[in-house]
Structure 1
Amino acid sequence: MQVQAYLFFHGRCEEALTFYRESLGAEVPVMMRFRDCPDPLPPGMIPDGFDEKIMHAEFRIGDSIVMASDGCTAQAPSFQGFALSISAPDETQARRLFDKLADGGQVQMPLGKTFFSPCFGSVADRYGMNWMVVVPQPT
């Protein structure tokens, strides 16, 4: 059994995927648009102009796969109540990832030493996605 995050960007999915490619080195092996659906969509299922939007995508960051879509509405995304956590091997890499995610976003907790990590911080990126960047405690 596996649990995976599925993120809905409400019209900004392709833009977000490009951002994650550039900032996190994400790979996007799967990207399907609504126009690619082999069966006709029910009338009114998606807003006008959504034919070119992303129906389903998968992106890989390291060994993790996250799924994404524009969803079926153009409303603003609301990523509340959860965060994606990304582990970095050292403080230099953590700072690089954190700074890229913070570009156009909002720092919630600056990177710094905590009782559980030599380097931890949290940030909401420009799409409102919450991220925690952490360097694991040495064992």
Structure 2
Amino acid sequence: MQPIIYLFFPGNCREAFETYGRVFDASPEIMSFADMPPEAQGSMPGVTNDMVMHASLKIGDGWIYGSDDPSISTQEMAGCNVSLAFPTEAETRRVWDALSEGGEIRMPLQPEFFAPLYGAMSDRFGIRWMIMQDGEAS
């Protein structure tokens, strides 16, 4: 069994998953509400046809899924973080820089007692990330 993170966005899921696709060099699969069968459309208040019903993106051996839900705010997910570990300093810094652009740094990327590099931030879409480098701290 492989847990899969499911992220909800207040209307910008497509933009977020296209951004994540560039960061992780992967192609997101995106299905809009317009792609639903006609009898299923209109079942969620505030949803428009161009919003994302389901998105998926493979990252390494895992996946993230996402959807638009205009009834939520990303603040509702404040207790959740996506945590990723990378094998090299260069890759750790590349992903950190890309995800943190326009976001809010909660803990700068720096050496910690448990990892060569670790940092925490919210990206510009409000999704919280914990990014670290694998390996032993020096």
Quick check: 2:13–2:67 contact (8 Å CA) kept in 1?
Answer: yes
Quick check: 2:34–2:41 contact (8 Å CA) kept in 1?
Answer: no
Decide which moves more: 38-47 or 57-66: 38-47
Q: Secondary structure at the match of 2:49?
A: helix
Count of residue pairs the alignment pairs up:
136
The residue number in structure 2 matching 1:104 is: 102
Q: Secondary structure at the match of 2:39?
A: coil
- The one-letter code matched in structure 1 to 2:92 is A
Q: Secondary structure at the match of 1:32?
A: strand
Return the alpha-carbon distance in structure 2 between the equivalents of residues 42 and 21 of structure 1.
27
CA RMSD in angstroms, aligned pairs only: 2.0
- The one-letter code matched in structure 2 to 1:47 is G
Return the alpha-carbon distance in structure 1 between the equivalents of residues 45 and 3 of structure 2.
27
Following superposition, which runs of at least 4 residues in structure 1 exceed 4 angstroms of deviation?
none
Taking every aligned residue pair, what percent have the same amino acid on both sides?
A: 35
State the 1:75 CA deviation.
4.6
- The one-letter code matched in structure 2 to 1:5 is I
Quick check: 1:10–1:76 contact (8 Å CA) kept in 2?
Answer: yes
The residue number in structure 1 matching 2:62 is: 64
Q: Secondary structure at the match of 1:97?
A: helix
Q: Secondary structure at the match of 2:74?
A: coil
State the 1:126 CA deviation.
0.2
Return the alpha-carbon distance in structure 2 between the equivalents of residues 107 and 24 of structure 1.
20
Q: Secondary structure at the match of 2:115?
A: coil
Q: TM-score scaled to structure 2, two decimals?
A: 0.88
